[in-house]
Amino acid sequence: MTQIDQTKKTVKITKPSYLYAIVSITLVLFMLGLLGVILLEANKLSSYFKENIVVTLILSDKIEAGELDSLTTQLSKQVYLKKMEYTSKEDAVKKFAQQTHEDVADILGYNPLFASIDLNLNAKYTHPDSLRNIKKSFATTRIVKEVFYQDSLVEVIDSNTNKISFFLLILSVIFTLIAFALIDNTVKLAMYSNRFLIKSMQLVGATRWFIAGPFITQSFYNGITSGLLASVLLASLLIFAQQNIPELGVLHEAGKFVLLCIVVILAGIAISWWSTRRSVVKYLQTQLDELY
């Protein structure tokens, strides 16, 4: 058999190994990307809940001209404010009637409800200590009769957010290490079938770069292909999830997802390149008798 025939035979043997490596790396990167999506969505979900905490300013009935405008102008300049909504005494009665189907003003003969301003804060200002400081800042404001928010709800959200964040951080580290090990072993398995080809090229005098170059180039393409396939799978899964659960659209951010896909592709390239290079160097340093 000629050397050309042997080379063709070698190429035919190694192609399935690369296909297996691409499929395996794609699945591992998909799972790693899915964990990334969960981390992003969990952070967004946490912010969503925090920003829906309402701080209500109960206003005094004795408001002088311009005081309300002055207060709302002051609030609009605060860095912690995300949104505010003013409710007059008349609107408060209407809302109460819609909720209870009773007109309290007709029953009592006067309107006992107060005007109010509902504040939604930016997520990073919803920590219990921040809310207490915000509440104290209105202590000297004459027209603010009382500041109200659900203390227990704030404590529960803050506590659970910290626990979930810590758990996801640990899970991310563990899963990243597992993903790295799985991809590394997959690449090693793919390179194992080429060990004799690597050693043969070394024995006939080929340089290390000449031997490693094609394999490293192939690992680069394998990493890109696997990363792209994993990204397509992630995008398909998200589209399917949003079609069946439309509420998830509130959490999804296209920019962050694109960044995540780039990270997945770069991770596939980096790990594939590193594992391939290590395997080639290993077989170059291995004695011929030890390859059997």
Residues 44 and 59 reside in one and the same domain: no
Residues 130 and 77 reside in one and the same domain: yes
Q: State which of 149, 177, 192 marks the end of a domain.
A: 149
Q: State which of 103, 122, 149 marks the end of a domain.
A: 149
Residue 20 reports pLDDT greater than 90: no
Residues 181 and 119 reside in one and the same domain: no
Predicted TM-score (pTM) of this structure? 0.61
Residues 200 and 145 reside in one and the same domain: no
Its domain, for residue 107, covers 54-149
Q: State which of 149, 183, 206 marks the end of a domain.
A: 149
Residues 135 and 176 reside in one and the same domain: no
Residues 78, 57 contacting (CB under 8 angstroms): no
Residue 150 reports pLDDT greater than 60: yes
Residues 41 and 58 reside in one and the same domain: no
Tokens 């405008």 correspond to what residue? Answer: 69
Q: How many domains does the chain have?
A: 2
Residues 148, 83 contacting (CB under 8 angstroms): no
Residues 44 and 69 reside in one and the same domain: no
Residues 140 and 69 reside in one and the same domain: yes
Residues 134 and 90 reside in one and the same domain: yes
φ and ψ at 116, to 5 degrees? Answer: -150, 165
Q: Which pLDDT tens digit goes with each residue over 84-108? A: 999 888 888 788 777 777 776 677 7
pLDDT of residue 169: 80
Residues 187 and 286 reside in one and the same domain: yes
Q: How far apart are CA 28 and CA 21, in angstroms?
A: 11
Q: Where are the beta strands (DSSP E) in the chain?
A: 54-59, 81-87, 116-121, 144-148
pLDDT of residue 122: 92
Residues 35 and 173 reside in one and the same domain: yes
